[in-house]
Amino acid sequence: MLVSLLHTGLSLKAQTRYIDFSIANESNNGCSNDTATVTDLKEYDKGVNFRLYPNPANKHIILEPSNKQTSIQFVSILDVTGRNIINLQNLPNASTYDLNISSLKKGIYFIVIQQGTHSETLRFIVQ
C-alpha cells in the first residue's frame, strides 16, 4: 500500500482504489500529542484497474483488465530487488492475458502494466 502525506491531505492507494481525505490539525500548543480530524472523505477510481490471479501462483498468472477496449502497451515483471525479469510490449486487445511464469523462482514479484495513459503495479507470489 502506498501512503503519501501531502500538505493538503493524505492520499492512500490500495491496489485499485484511491482514498483522499482532508485533515484539520488540532494543535495542542506545540506538544507532541497533536491530533488530526478527518473533515472530508472521497473515494474515486483512477483509470484502468487490473485483476491478477491466482495469487500465489505456480506456472501461470491471469491478468484481467477492467477496460478491455484499450490494448496493453507494456508489461514488466520485476523481482523484489527491482531487477527486470520479463518484458512484454504491445499486447493485443483481450479480455484476459495468460502469462507464463514457469521460469520464475519462488518469491515475491511485481508486475507493472501500462495501458493508455494509466499504469499500475501489482504484487504477486510464485510458490
Question: In the structure, what pLDDT confidence band is assigned to residue 93 with cuts at 50, 70 and 90?
Answer: confident
Closest CA to 115 of 62, 63, 75, 78: 75
CATH classification number, 50-126, choose in 2.60.40.10, 3.40.50.720, 3.40.50.12160, 1.20.1050.10: 2.60.40.10
Mean pLDDT, the chain, rounded, equals 74
> What is the percentage of the chain residues whose pLDDT exceeds 70?
62
Reported as a single tens digit per residue, the pLDDT across 10-48 is 333 334 344 455 455 555 555 555 555 555 555 445 555
- Residue 123 has a pLDDT of 96
Residue 121 has pLDDT above 90, yes or no: yes
Q: What's the rounded Cα separation, in Å, for the pair 17 and 28?
A: 33
Q: What's the rounded Cα separation, in Å, for the pair 16 and 100?
A: 24
Residue 86 has pLDDT above 70, yes or no: yes
Question: In the structure, what pLDDT confidence band is assigned to residue 5 with cuts at 50, 70 and 90?
Answer: very low
- Residue 57 DSSP symbol: B
Task: Name the residue ranges covered by the structural domains of the chain.
Answer: 2-44, 50-126
Cell of 30: 506545540
Neighbours of 6 (CB within 10 A): 9
Question: In the structure, what pLDDT confidence band is assigned to residue 2 with cuts at 50, 70 and 90?
Answer: very low
- Residue 29 has a pLDDT of 57
